[in-house]
Each structure stands twice: as structure tokens, then as C-alpha cells.
Structure 1
């Protein structure tokens, strides 16, 4: 999860080890030192993007779903750093494409968050989930204003009105952070909802105004008027 995004309350923390470890040790084929070395080599190859070395390790039996101490799989590490060739190698060995790390992030989410367009598109083409409970790749794209990936995500079936854990929609996140180009693209999609409210009771234009993004607020209000929609209901938070 991006450090500036609200905390996910129920992250899925799942840590896996090398699948072949027990069998190899039992057969005496690899020592503990060799196994540790292979594990470190796999993590290094994924993060550095050394697809040739990674493919060799995978061919020798390294689990493609090996994780680091933070619960990041090799695929997540490679995608996070934009190592497209390494991602493709891992997908060839059927790495779990929708595995979520301890923060709830998938490989696609982190590729989108960091703006690794080629990597994200490879994952989307391979069938990575664009919709899921909690934060989604489209939320991350909206938060960072990744306009180049918006069409790819929507074309893959991403829900443009998906609520994040704080009930923010992609339109709200883009409006809050001043990404006017992203907002324009979302407003051009007829099914994008304009009057939903986040957990603070703010609509997308109200959140934009709260962050001094008046041009974005005006765009949303103009689109609301064009659609003949009423102003959103006001939800007052009482503590």
C-alpha cells in the first residue's frame, strides 16, 4: 500500500517458502547453504530484472511464489520495480498473479502505482485482477494520475465506481490530488458516478474544493449539470 494512501485495516499477510526445499534436503541434493543462496539469488534476480538468471533458478525448481520477509513474491518485487522481462519469466512458470502482500498489494497494483506502464500491461494481458475487495489498481492509478493506464484498466473491466476502504472512488482520488486529465477521462465515461460520498461525507467536487482544485470541481459540476443531476446529498458527520 502506498504510504500516502489510508491504511488498509485488514491486510492479507501470507508468507510462503521454497516449495522444493523439503524434498531437496531430504534427497541430499542441496545443502542448507545452497538453498539459502538460491533463495537470495531469486530475490536479487527479481528485483534487478535479471530474467536469464531468474529463469535458470525457476527451471532448477525454485518456487515462483517465493516471498521475501515482507511477504512480497518474486512477481510483486519484479513488477514493483518495472522489471518486465522478469515478470514475463515468472508468468511462464505460473506465478500467482493475484497474490497480495502483507499490505494487500498485488503485482499489478504496484506496477500501476509506480507508473511502470509496460509491466502493468503485461500483467493485465495475463489476466491480473482489476477488481477486488479494498484498494484496486484503478484507485492507485487515480491517486497518482496515471492517465496512460486508465484506458487499459477500464478496457479490462475495472469498476470506475469501486469504493476504496475509505469509500473514495477513483474520481474522488483524482479530484482530490489535482489530476485534471485523469478526471476528464473519467467524466467522459457515462457510468462514472458523480454524487457518491466518501466516509467523510464529501463528493468528488467537494473534496477537490477542499484541496483548492477549483478547476476540477468546476468540471465535475458542469458534467453534473449536463447530465441533469441534482447536487449530491450532504451527509453530516456527528461525533
Structure 2
């Protein structure tokens, strides 16, 4: 087998190992076969890379390894224009979604039909990733080739997500978190007052008396 054939075989194996979540073998492919110079951005017949598969299946550890150790392209597109972020949105993978965005994934990347990750998340009813995208500033006004915005898709398929897209859900969560913090601070202050009162009482006692 030539070096080129060996490299292609390893790149195919890489994609399969990502699907199987076999990170040990993935590391071996890169570390034990350096002479083959395996391309971390190698694509399958549909144009998907290891990162596309990791994003779809929620394999965060593998995704982090491929990005940090081998500089995998976070915004690489498959044949229909889907980036890894589209897959995280379509299949409801919030941890992967957050990681990709924090590492400069394009939140408004549009595929050949105009779909953004937000369109994908909304159409399939994934509230958690919809919230993440909204919080990260994903645009709700971008249109598909059929003239559909994310809000239109929400109205058609998952009306409950309209609150998320409007920011109402985020406002409610922020208010709830603020109330919780206030209650916690009040409880701490009450505990502090009790401790001070107890200490003051102990100081006021005369030796030998209970």
C-alpha cells in the first residue's frame, strides 16, 4: 500500500472512530502514523469532516481534541453548506454548541438554502440550543430561500420557542437568578446576625455562670 493510500485509509478510519467515540484510537491515528500526515479536515462522500460528526453526536471531548491539538476547521462546510454548528443545532447538542461559538464559530452561517444554525434549532424544537444561539446574538431576521425567518419557523413548528427568540425567556431567567441571589444573600446576612448575637451573648456571661 502506498503512503497516499495508507493516509486515505487512516482518514476514513478517523471518521469512523469519531462516530464510535473511540478517542484512544483517534489519538493513535495522529500520534503513531505521523508519516502519513493525516488531514484532520478530511471529508467523507457527503463532505462531512470529523468535526461535523463530533458535533452531530455530541462528542465534546473528541471535538476539543481535534480543535486544540490539530487545529480542525470549526467553520468548514459540507456539500450542502452545513458547518459543524448546523449539526449541533439540528441534533440538539448544547455543550458542543457553546464550545463551538466560544471558539469563533459563525453563528449566522447560512447553507445553500439559507438555513442558519438558528433555523435548524428552531425547526426541530431544541430549546436549549435556541437559547444559546439567541444569547450569542444569532440573527432572527435572516431568511431561507423560501423566505422563512427563524421566527416564522417557530410559529409554524414550535410556537413555544417564540419566547426564546423574543428574549422573554432570557429575561425571565435573569429575574429568577436575581431573586435566587438576593435570597441567598439574605440568608447569609441572617446567619451572620445570628452568629454575632450568639458571640455577643457569650461575652456577656460571667465566669462560672451558665
User: Would the TM-score normalized by the shorter structure come out above 0.5?
Assistant: yes
CA contact (8 A) 2:41 2:72 kept: yes
Q: Deviations over 1:114-168 (max 9, x none)?
A: 2222212211222111113411100000000100111211122210000012210
Question: Secondary structure in 2 aligned to 1:124?
Answer: helix
CA distance in 2, matches of 1:180, 1:20: 47
1:124 aligns with 67
In the alignment, which of 50, 60, 69 is matched to residue 107 of structure 1? Answer: 50
Q: Deviations over 1:54-92 (max 9, x none)?
A: xxxxxxxx824316xxxx711111112111111111122
CA distance in 1, matches of 2:165, 2:26: 38
Q: Which has the larger radius of gyration?
A: 2
Check 1:20–1:170 CA distance in 2 against 1; reply closer, same or farther (3 A cut).
closer
Question: Secondary structure in 1 aligned to 2:6?
Answer: coil
CA distance in 2, matches of 1:173, 1:185: 13
The answer to whether 1:144 aligns with 2:91 is yes
1:218 aligns with 163
In the TM superposition, residue 19 of structure 1 has moved relative to its aligned partner by 2.4
Please report the RMSD computed on the Cα atoms of aligned residues, expressed in angstroms. 2.0
2:176 aligns with none
Alignment of 1:77-116 (within 5 A): 77-92=16-31, 93=34, 94-116=37-59
Question: Secondary structure in 2 aligned to 1:63?
Answer: helix
CA distance in 1, matches of 2:2, 2:57: 30
CA contact (8 A) 1:205 1:218 kept: no
CA contact (8 A) 1:124 1:156 kept: no
2:100 aligns with 153
1:203 aligns with 149
The answer to whether 1:166 aligns with 2:113 is yes
The answer to whether 1:19 aligns with 2:2 is yes
Q: Which has the higher helix share?
A: 2
The higher relative CO (CA closer than 8 Å, separation ≥ 6) is in 1
Q: Deviations over 1:149-198 (max 9, x none)?
A: 112111222100000122100111101111111111111113x2110011
CA distance in 1, matches of 2:151, 2:93: 20
Normalising by structure 2, what TM-score?
0.70
In the alignment, which of 46, 62, 74 is matched to residue 13 of structure 2? Answer: 74
CA distance in 2, matches of 1:165, 1:81: 29
